[in-house]
Copies of this chain bind each other. A is one copy, B any other.
Amino acid sequence: MPLSEFQLIQHYFQAHAAGRDDVVLGIGDDAALVTPHPDCELVLAIDTLVAGVHFPLDTDAADIGYKLLAVNLSDLAAMGAEPSWMTLALTLPESDPQWLEKFSQGLFELADQYGVAIIGGDTTRGPLTLSLQAHGQLPGGSALQRSGARPGDSVFVTGVLGGAAIALAALQGEFELSPDEMDHCRARLDRPTPRLAVGQALRGIATAAIDISDGLMADLGHIAGQSGVGAEIVADQLPLDVIESASLSAERHRQLALTVGDDYELCFTAPDSAIEKIRAIAFSSDCSITEIGKITASESVRVVDWQGKPIELQLDGYQHFPEQK
């Protein structure tokens, strides 16, 4: 990019570089310098959003900025980490000041909320591709991993599921939503809430955790696979987003919630002895937490009805967001 790259960075990003005393040197040198907390482990997550693949091409730039950070903070939440700093690799077709202004507005709306400082990045010209790395910290040995689930543990999810998937399906013309419902679901898709407070509170309590980005079945499958266990989810216990569209059947609703990600809620496991603590976490973090099933000694993840009978799920029905015109 021409010289204006530096001016743009200066204008839109550098102003947000200050504010943390563990940042020795932010944007503007060959690399950034930070001072990690000496008793902590460093937690690193990097995620890319590609225009037309991860968000519709007409998505508001402020929502893109917000979501780019949110999906990375969601990864930190799933580890139980506290976020500290971010770096940003922006590939842009052109230097569009209006786009950058809105993008940075959305990005810093979320960053400022959690005290995340931008410390570095790179701006290049090319097809719209946005990578962000989030850096967090947590006390050594306290990270929530995917591999700790044990048979008999209960399976929990935060919040409600399905809203983001319903927005995607409606955008693709599968059914109609009322304007209010579309706004609600679109907000779930565009501005997911990283469950940082819950994740941090679960350190020492949850045996495994993951954020739901690929759909509950796939993500719980990752926990099961890495823990060497299985899981049984009770369909009726799933906390579904309340949608009243006449053209969305209850079955399809559940299928979307189970197989499409983008809600960025947490799925975690914990022994029964932790139930009271988990209720307290839900209360103090103002985020519902629902028990949806059990970890089993089998090696499969299945959904059952209230009588324990397996429900067949069509798992191959989902296509990643196709390119928009």
Contact = CB atoms under 8 A, between A and B. Distances in A.
A44 B87 contact: yes
Interface in A142-173: 143, 145-147
B31 A79 contact: yes
A54 B88 CA distance: 18
6 contacts: A31-B45, A44-B120, A46-B121, A47-B89, A49-B124, A126-B129
A259 to B, nearest CB: 14
Contacts of A125: 50, 53, 320
Interface string A189-232: 00000000000000000000111000000000000001000000
A53 B127 contact: no
Interface of A: 1, 24-25, 28-36, 38, 41-54, 75-76, 78-79, 81, 85, 87-89, 91, 119-122, 124-127, 129, 131, 133-136, 140, 143, 145-147, 209-211, 226, 320
A166 to B, nearest CB: 23
A226 B28 contact: yes
B78 A30 contact: yes
B124 A25 contact: no
A122 B1 CA distance: 25
Contacts of A47: 89, 122
A50 B123 CA distance: 11
**Count of chain copies:** 2
B124 A127 contact: no
Nearest to A43: B31
Contacts of A81: 31
Nearest to A199: B30
A49 B89 CA distance: 10
A86 to B, nearest CB: 10
A44 B119 contact: yes
A84 to B, nearest CB: 10
Contacts of A78: 30-31
Given A41-B24, A75-B30, A131-B122, A46 B87 contact: yes
Nearest to A146: B29
Nearest to A133: B133
A49 B52 CA distance: 20
Contact of A29 (B24, B79, B134): B79
B53 A31 contact: no
A34 B46 CA distance: 14
A53 B87 contact: no
